Chain A
Amino acid sequence: MTSPTNSDVLTYREAVHQTMRAALRDNPRTIIIGQGVDDHKGIFGSTAGLLKEFGGERVMDTPLAEEGVTGIALGAALNGLYPIQTHIRADFILLAMNQLINLAAKYKYMFGGRFQVPMLIRVVIGRSWGQGAQHSQSFQSLFAHVPGLVVIMPSSPQTILESYPYVIRQHPGPVIAFEHRLMYDLKFHMSELRVGHSPLTSFRIRAGKHVTIVATSIMVMEAVRAAEHLARHSDIDCEIIDLHCVSHPDQELILASLAKTGKLLVADTSWKAYGVCAEVCRLVAERAPGLLQAPVVTLGMQPAPCPTAKSLEDLFYPNLRDLTDALAALVKGRRDHGIRLPDEKSMADVYKKFKGPF
C-alpha cells in the first residue's frame, strides 16, 4: 500500500482528497457513500474526480436517507466492505444518531466481541456567510460521550494525512471525523508526518512556558495565531495542544503541560456546557486540580443557536482578539494586562477564501 504523499504546502481539501483517493486505490473493498460524493462539487472537492476513476459502485450517491444509509454502511461493513460515509454538514448526522449510537457504537461489545464494524464517517462543520442555526453545529461531544465511538477533529492537512489512512487501514470500529469548512481552502505548511504510533490521540504542536491551550479543529489554528501575536507583542509563551481525538485525548500530555504552565485555556468549536471544554475541566478537576494556579478559561460558541446576521455571528464565535485577550489576562492575572491586542473582529474576514454560499 502506498501512503498519501507529503508535500510542502497543501490545502485541507487536497489532503482529504489524497486520502480518499488512496483509500479507494489501496483497497478494492473501500466505498465512499454519501449525498453528492459523485457530483461536480464532490463534497467541497474532497471526492472530486473519484467517480470517474473508480466508478459508481464505489463512489456512490445516496437518497436523502441519513439513518438508512448509515445502517446500510454498517451492514456493508459487517459483510466485508470498508464504507466511508459523508455528510456535507455535521448537522445532518443527527438523523443518523440511532444507527451510530444504538448500533454502530455497540456492535462489537453488545455481541460479546463477535463483530466489528470498521467505518469512517466524515462530517463538515459549517461557519460564517450566514450558515445559521442548522448548518453550523459542531456535535463532537455528543458522539465522544458514547463508549464505542472514536471522534477526531483534524485541525490541518497534516493530521488528516496522519489519521485517515491509519483509521481506514487499521482501526476496527466506527470513527467520526469532524472536518471544518473554513479550513478547506487554506494552505498549510507540512512537516514530517508523525508515524509509528496511533494518531488517535492528542498532539503538542507548540511548546511554551506560561499557559496551556487545549484546542480543537480550527481553534488550533486560532491558538497558533494568538500565540504568535503574543510572542511578538509580549513575553507570553503559549503551549498548544491539539486535542484531535476528542473521544480519547492524551490525558498525560495535557496534565504534563499543565504541570509546567499551571494555567489552562480550552478553545472548542462548539458550546461550552457539557462539551469538550467541560470535559477537559473534568479531567483536570479529577486528576490534578492542584496543578491549576488560576481558574480555567474556556472559549466556545455563545449559548444560543447560531444567528445569521454577520453582526451577530461575529459575536457568537470567539475571535482572535477575544482569544488573545483571554490568554493575556490569564497569564498576567488581571484584565488590564496592557498588552496590545490584534484588532481583528471576525474570523470570517481572515479566512477570506470562504465566500459562501456553502
Chain B
Amino acid sequence: MKTYARFPDLFEELFYQALRIRLFEERIIALYPSDKIQSPVHLSIGQEAAAVGACRQLEPADLLFCSYRSHAYYLAKGGPMPAMMAELYGKVTGCGQGKAGSMHLAAPEVGLMGCSAVVASTIPHAVGAALAAKLQKQSRIIVAVFGDGATDEGVYHESLNFAALHKLPVIFLCENNGWAAYSPVAARHAYQLRKQAQVYGIPASAVEEGFCPLKVYKAFGRVVDQVRKTSSPCFIEVKTSRYREHVGIGDDFSSGIRQRAELEAWQAKDPLIQRQDLVAKYTPDIAAEIDAAVRYAEESPWPGPEELLKDVI
C-alpha cells in the first residue's frame, strides 16, 4: 500500500484511507439512482476501519481472499480506483473487464486474489494458497476475510481444521457486524466465535473497537507477527457495524429490522463522523480522485461481443 509522507502520523494516514473508502461508497450511493451502476452493491460503510487497519499490516506479496463485501479491501490493499469504478459501471476497462461487477473484484497485482458472492466460499482458497506458500517456502501470509454469517457454513469449519492440522500461514479475519443479511447472530450461533476457533487450537483474539483503524491496525499487527513467526493460523474477530442495508444503498430502519439507537451509539465513536476537521482536510483530494475514476468509467467503452465467449476455458 502507498504511504503518504504528508501525513503527520499513522492515525491520519489510516483515517485518510478509511475516508477514501467511505467517500467512494458515498459516491456509489449518489450515482446509484442514475442506474449507471447496475450491480448489487454490498457497502462497507461503517466497516472501513477493519480493511484499512488490516491491509496496512500486509505486504503486497501477502494474499487476500474476500467476499462480495469487498470494496474496502480492494481499495485498502491498493487496487486501482479507476479500474474498480469502471468495473462497477460494467466497462471493459474494469478490473474484471466488465464480467465481475461489484461482487467479484480482484487485483492480483496487489494480492487481492478474488471475491465471491457465495458466502464462505473463498475461505478454503486462502487455506489452499497458504498450503502452496508453505510447500513452496514462500514467506507470504494469506488472509481470509469473511462475515459472521460465513462461519455458519460447514466449509468454514473444514477450513479451520485443515489450516490448523497443517500449520498454515493464514489469518482468518472475521468482520462481525452482528448480521447475516437480516438475521442477527443470536438467531444463528450456538457457538462463540473465538472459542469455536480455539477448539482447533487456533489462537483467537478480537478488536472491540472496530470503528478505529488504529486499534485494528495494532491488533492485526500482533496477529500478523504471530503468523509470520509461527507459520500457523490465527483467528481475529473485528467487531464492527454496517450502517447501510445488507445489499443496496438503503438502510435497515424503514424495514424496522434495526433501531437507530444501535447505530447511533456506534457512530458516536466513529472517527469518520467525529473528526470533521480531518474530513474537511482530506475530502477535496479524495473527491478529485473519485471524480477522475468516475470520468474514466464513463468514458470507457462497454465490452464488445468478442468478449462474451473469451476466457471461458
* Interfacial residues, chain A to chain B (CB-CB below 8 A): 29, 31, 57-58, 62-63, 65, 67-81, 83, 98-99, 102-103, 107-115, 147-148, 150, 172-173
Residue of B104, B118, B313 with most partner-chain A CB within 10 A: B313
8 A Cβ contacts from B116-171 to A? 116, 118, 121-133, 135-136, 138, 142, 154-155, 158-159, 161-162, 165
Please state if B128 and A103 are interface contacts (CB–CB under 8 Å).
no
Q: Are A75 and B127 in contact (CB under 8 A)?
A: yes
Are the CB atoms of A103 and B121 closer together than 8 Å? yes
A77 — which chain B residues lie within 8 A by C-beta?
128, 132
**Is A57's CB under 8 angstroms from B135's CB?**
yes
Within 8 A of A (CB), among B24-45: none
Q: A57-B135, A81-B135, A103-B118 given as contacts; is B97 within 8 A of A113 (CB)?
A: yes
Residues of the A chain whose Cβ atoms lie less than 8 Å from the Cβ of B116: 102-103
Chain A residues contacting B63 (CB-CB under 8 Å) are: 79
Closest CB in chain B relative to A138 CB, distance in Å: 23
Q: Are A113 and B310 in contact (CB under 8 A)?
A: yes
Q: Is A71's CB under 8 angstroms from B124's CB?
A: yes
Residue in B104, B122, B131 whose beta carbon sits within 8 Å of that of A110 in the complex: B104
Contacts of B95 in A (CB 8 A): 111-112, 114
B interface residues with partner A (beta carbon < 8 Å): 63, 65, 94-100, 104, 106, 108, 113-114, 116, 118, 121-133, 135-136, 138, 142, 154-155, 158-159, 161-162, 165, 310-313
Chain A's closest residue to B153 (CB) is: A67
Given contacts A112-B94, A112-B311, A115-B114, contact A76 B165 (CB under 8 A): no
Do the beta carbons of A72 and B313 come within 8 Å of each other? no
Q: Which residues of B contact A83 (CB under 8 A)?
A: 128
Q: Could you list 18 examples of A-B contacts with CB < 8 Å?
A: A29-B135, A31-B135, A63-B158, A68-B124, A68-B159, A71-B159, A74-B128, A75-B130, A75-B142, A78-B125, A80-B132, A81-B132, A102-B118, A102-B121, A110-B96, A111-B95, A115-B106, A115-B108
Q: Which of B104, B162, B311 has the most CB of A within 10 A?
A: B311
Given contacts A74-B128, A80-B132, A109-B99, 15 further A-B contacts (CB under 8 A): A58-B135, A63-B165, A68-B162, A71-B122, A72-B128, A72-B131, A75-B125, A75-B129, A79-B113, A109-B311, A109-B312, A110-B99, A112-B94, A112-B95, A150-B313
Measured CA separation A148–B127 after assembly (Å):
23
Nearest residue (CB) in B for A83 is: B128
Q: Contact check: which of B106, B136, B142, B312 meets A147 at CB < 8 Å? A: B312
Q: Could you tell me the distance between the alpha carbons of A67 and B124 in the complex, rounded to whole angstroms?
A: 9
Q: Is the pair B114, A67 in contact by a Cβ cutoff of 8 Å?
A: no
Q: How far is the CA of A2 from the CA of B168 in the complex (A)?
A: 33
User: Given that A68-B159, A71-B155, A81-B136 are known contacts, is A98 also in contact with B121, CB under 8 Å in the complex?
Assistant: yes
**Known contacts A71-B155, A112-B100, A115-B108, A65 near B162 by CB under 8 Å:** yes
Distance in Å: Cβ of B194 to nearest Cβ of chain A: 21
Whether B128 contacts A73 by the Cβ 8 Å rule is yes
Contact: A99 with B121, CB < 8 Å?
yes
Chain A residue contacts of B310, Cβ below 8 A: 113
